[in-house]
Amino acid sequence: MADFDIKEFLDDKVAAFNQPTFIENDPICIPHLFREQQDIEIMGFFAAILAWGQRKTIINKCKDLIDRFDGQPANFIREHEASDLKNLLGFKHRTFNDTDLLYFVSFLHFHYSTFPSLEDAFLIGNQAGEPFSMERSLNEFKAYFFSLPDHPIRTKKHVSSPLQKSSCKRLNMFLRWMVRKDDKGVDFGIWNRIKPRDLICPCDVHVERVAHKFGLISSDKVNWKTAVELTENLKHFDPEDPVKYDFALFGIGVIGEL
């Protein structure tokens, strides 16, 4: 299949899947419950971090977390007292437990006490005037995230980085939600300093399988190199917004169209 034909097919699938109907059964429905930017960032971050397993379970666990935050995630993160943290005890999703949750809350409280947006956490290490590097950004983000002296060692497995050769699927998905801009009502586009062209395509089992079929990735291993290769190939179709094709690749994989 010629590149032009693949592009035409994928563009059609982007149009089909980049729609509000996509939201209902996807973890992105969680940040869509909110209107304030910090609420969207916080619950988008948690929804992405917890995004493994059945999507219905992920969504239910995120709603449980919202209840534990008294329905106001940003306010809870910024203003909670030590006694409020007992609301978080007993939370668990697969291997993510209340020890991990308490540290995440601690870091977010620390971060928002200095910065107005979580976008700042992904800009550490990228100097003004230099080309933006997502690889450097994600490596520096993990170092920053675990810079508090009391971080539990066990919690580090829940935040990936290219240094670990991870594809960083969950973080790349979160960044897509925050950065991509269009009028379709799915992604938020509330961050402006990281550009859509800087994003790396989230590479899960559905995306990987379909991308292989189209010859967009060559390796059988899903790692950082694979995610970069996929994104570079998608840039041939749209250099300014390559990650929009995540909708097409994921959607095709989920419905089993191949």
Helix axes 3-17, 245-255, angle to 10 degrees: 80
Tens digit of each residue's pLDDT (9 = 90 or more) over 66-100: 999 999 999 999 999 999 999 999 999 999 999 99
Is the confidence at residue 2, as pLDDT, over 60?
no
> What's the pLDDT at 254?
85
Instruction: Quote the number of domains for the chain.
Output: 1
- Which band of pLDDT confidence, cut at 50, 70 and 90, is reported for residue 56? very high
Tens digit of each residue's pLDDT (9 = 90 or more) over 175-214: 999 999 999 999 999 999 999 999 999 999 999 999 999 9
Q: Give the DSSP letter of residue 97.
A: E
Map tokens 């191949």 to a residue: 258
> What's the pLDDT at 1?
44
- Check if the beta carbon of residue 239 is closer than 8 Å to that of residue 200: no
Give the Cα separation of 113 and 34 in Å (integer): 21
Q: Which two tokens stand for residue 86?
A: 């007992």
Q: Which two tokens stand for residue 43?
A: 């619950």
Tens digit of each residue's pLDDT (9 = 90 or more) over 123-137: 987 777 788 999 999
> What's the pLDDT at 220?
85
Please give the residue range of the domain that contains residue 18. 3-255
> What's the pLDDT at 218?
93
C-alpha angle 12-209-194 in degrees, rounded to nearest 5: 65
